[in-house]
Each structure stands twice: as C-alpha cells, then as structure tokens.
Amino acid sequence: MQDVVVKGVGLHTGAPVTVRLRARPGAVCLRAGGVEARIDELVVASTLRATTVEACGGGLRVGMVEHLFAALAGLGVYDGVVIEVDGPELPLLDGAASAWCEAVSELRLPRQTPRFRVACDAVIDCGDSRYQLSPSDRVEVDVCLVLDDARVTPEARWTGEADDFRTRVAPARTFALAHDFEELARLGLSRHVDPASVVVLAPDAVHCSGRPYRADEPARHKLLDLMGDLYVHGGPPLGRVSALRPGHGANAQAFLRAREDGAIVAR
C-alpha cells in the first residue's frame, strides 16, 4: 500500500486533523502547510506537554510528534515515508502508539537498522534527569521513573524487537497525575481527550477506561516518549541508552548534546 490516511483530533487545539502517510523513496520527511523537511532538518521548538518540531525558519511547525515518531522507531522505519499533516499538531488517537503502528505497518516498508550508534560511554545530566550511554551491538533503551507511588512500577526496557514494541510498548497510554490533569482542564486542554486514551493517577484511585491499568504502564509510556524524542536525532541508536527521570525537555537537550559531543555518531 502506498498511501494511508489517519484522522483524529488534536489534543491542544481540539481541531480535526488528517495525517497522510505516503510511501516514497528517500529520507523520512514531514510536510505541513505546503512546506516539507527531512527528519534530519527538524529541530525541537517546544517541549511544553509534548514535542513540537519545526524547520525552514519556522515555516514548518508540527506539535505532538513523539507517538508517531516512536512507532517509526519501534518498527525500524528510517526512510521511505512522507508524513503529510493537515493541522498544527498530530492527533492524540489512542494516547499511545498502537494506532500509529497499525498505520505505518499498512505501508509494508522493510525494517531498517538505526543510522546512528553510541560511540563511547557518556553520562549527560539535564537538571534532575540523567542519561547514561554505552556502546553495544544492539539497541537497548531503558527508563526509570521517580514517583513516590506504590501503584507504579518505575522501570521499563526495550531491546530493539519490533514485535515487542508493537505488543508491549506501543499500547502504553499517556498518563497524568491528577493535579496536572486538573490544570489541563482549567486551561481547556483536556476537553477533547477520549477517556480511553489516558490514565490519571489520583491519590485515591487510578482512573482509566477500556483496557485495565498495569503498574508498569506509566514507565512504558515514558519509554515510548523517549523513543519518539530520540527519533528526531536519528535514533534510537545502536547501543544502550538509559534514562533516569526522562522528560521531553531533558530528552531534547541530552541527545542534542550527545550528538554535538560525539557520543552518538552516524554509522
């Protein structure tokens, strides 16, 4: 199949969004508002509640790219697709990456190997977040959350298998602490959220619908987000990436520094 259309609603705008995934030889490209840029031309413009990328001096700007980018990373798609977005942000869909995995899989693109590798041991601190990198002959990504909540298993790990990503990592839904979700509601940013696409951790209960909550789901979603943020920098790379307290802002800073310092290099 050469063309897949995905429709949904933007989390922050509430506007209908149409995304067209088009198989085309060459680098993965993002296209919006008549402007197109390769994945390696994108820069992170904002990490407020999601990852927003831009290129061409701001002529192209698209928000909430991390879930689709995580699906591309997990399925090993590093070229051969153009992402055309009719709107300022990608839709929330299932709050995870399963819907994106289904869409990308319909293109029947061959699995590819990462274009970058970890070249040396490195430790990168970004505020309260810490990233440890080390060379390896396979992809290894793990996260550790720091939440004082016995209902949350803090660790999650992925070792490069597409099927494991599709069945275990991709279904992990967006999660929020109750006070953060209340702030989103106050700002009018949660009125378009399907309850089945988010897990809310309140002091007295875990609120979700659809699939049952599992204790490692928040960590698996942070792992998913990390993979999506790594994809902006050509990753996840061949090697081990271990993240303590990962977040969109720290992810962007850490891997930009890793590229600049030569800890992550092209293969």
Q: Which residues are catalytic?
A: 248
Query: Residue 105: phi, psi to the nearest 5?
Result: -65, -30
What are 175's two structure tokens? Answer: 């999660």
Q: Which among 244, 10, 7, 27 has a CA at the least distance from the CA of 133? A: 244
Q: Please give the helix or strand (H or E) that residue 224 lies within, else none.
A: helix 217-231
Pairing of β 116-118 and β 43-46? unpaired
CB 235 within 8 A of CB 264: yes
Instruction: Give the total residue count for the chain.
Output: 267
Whole-number Å distance between alpha carbons of 47 and 66: 10
Rounded to 5 degrees, what are φ and ψ at 20? -115, 120
User: What does the buried/exposed string (b/e) look like for 44-55 if buried means 16 or more CB atoms within 10 Å of the residue's CB?
Assistant: bbebebbbbbbb
Strand partners, 157: 142
Rg, the chain, Cα only: 17
| Helix (H/G/I), strand (E/B), else coil: 2 | coil
